[in-house]
Each structure stands twice: as structure tokens, then as C-alpha cells.
Amino acid sequence: GSPVYTPQQLANKLIAVPYFAGTHYLALLMLEGFLPRDLIKTCQAPNGSGARYRSLMKGEIDATTLTEPYITVAEKAGCRVMVLAPFHGTEVATQAVDAETYAAFSRAVKKAVGRINADKRKYLQYFIDYYKSDPEVAALTVDDLSPGRLQVVEPAPIPEEEMERTRQWMVGWDMIDESSSAESLVDSQRQNLAHELAATSDGDSG
């Protein structure tokens, strides 16, 4: 078994992450609370928790990032969770997506959030159904999964202060150039307009 029992013991261990995807950023954010940056060692891992879980079980890596249902699968296999946190996922839209289209998307997400939060157990089954081609996932039941890990919120604009902190953090990790402005990364005007349209249309959507 792994000798790692605390996040501090991940110093210089090889941590597999899907570069420039959500859990890559989250892994760094969590680990730098326990380790200096020069002791955090990562390597490229495939997108999809299933592939990363299998790599971990083969001993190819020391640690990795997982999302549900593979957190539960890993725990049932004897793996230990070192750090755990939720994160905001925002959709990336091209210039071809206008504010009205993005607003319609946001309204749909808002409805989904309401339904999920009203009955989390019902929607936990989706984790199992989506990945049921994996026998270890297919063997799970809803009772194995934690409703507390299913965290969804209504879409909203990214707060300017949070956006700037994130920009500075990404510069600090050499992910973007110092000259990159928050506005060059996020079209705030279109984002805000889309959310305004979504809010004003809620009463008309039925």
C-alpha cells in the first residue's frame, strides 16, 4: 500500500493530473496549502477519472485527481482521499455564441440545478448509469455515493475580484503571460449580458 497518509507526504511524489482541466487547477490550489510549490510534482494524465484511477491502481503514479463516481470506487478499493474540495466549472463559449444563446443555456442549467438540489439521491444514479460500462462502477449503488459530493449552483457571472485573483494565480504558475488581462480571458460584457437576459427571461420560460 501507499505510505502517504497526509497531503504533506505528497512532497516530490508524482501526481497525475489532466493538464489545463478543472482538477489540474484544483489539485494545485489544494496542495499549495500544504507544500511549497517546488515540491509539487505533476505529470500529464488523460482526461477521465476512470483512466487515471486505473493508472493509480497499476502503480504507475503515486496519486491522481478523481471525480465521482471514481472517488467512491477508489475508496472501496482501499485508496485514501488526501484532499477534497469543490470547484466552480464555467462553460467556455466561442465568439460564435452570442449572449442570447448563452442566456438560453444558462436558463437550462438553472432548471437542472433546481431539480438536482430538490432530490440529490435521484440524480446520483446518473453517475452510475453514465459509467456503467466499467464493472467497478456498475457494482455501485446509490447508497455507496455521498450526496454531499454532488454540489451544483445556479450559473452566475464570475466576480471581478475573484477573476483577478485567479489571473494572478495562473501567472504565478506560468500558465499565462503576465500581460494577459482578465478581460482578454473572459468577455465580461457578454457574460454579464447573458446572465441578465437569463434572469429577465425566467418568468417567460414557463
The position carrying cell 499549495 is 32
The pTM of the full predicted model, rounded to 2 decimals, is: 0.89
Q: What is the pLDDT of residues 146-179, one digit of tens each?
A: 999 999 999 888 888 998 999 999 999 999 999 9
Q: Which structural domains are found in the chain, ordered by start?
A: 7-76 (3.40.190.10), 99-204 (no CATH)
127 neighbors 69 (Cβ within 8 angstroms): yes
Task: Give the 3-state secondary structure percentages of the chain, helix then strand then coil, rounded to 5.
Answer: 50, 5, 45
Cα gap 146→161, rounded to integer Å: 32
Half-sphere exposure of 141 (CA within 13 A, CB side): 1
Q: What is the pLDDT of residues 63-116, one digit of tens each?
A: 999 999 999 999 999 999 999 999 887 777 777 888 888 899 899 999 999 999
Q: How confident is the model at residue 202 (pLDDT cuts 50, 70, 90)?
A: low
The DSSP symbol for 195 reads: H
127 neighbors 68 (Cβ within 8 angstroms): yes
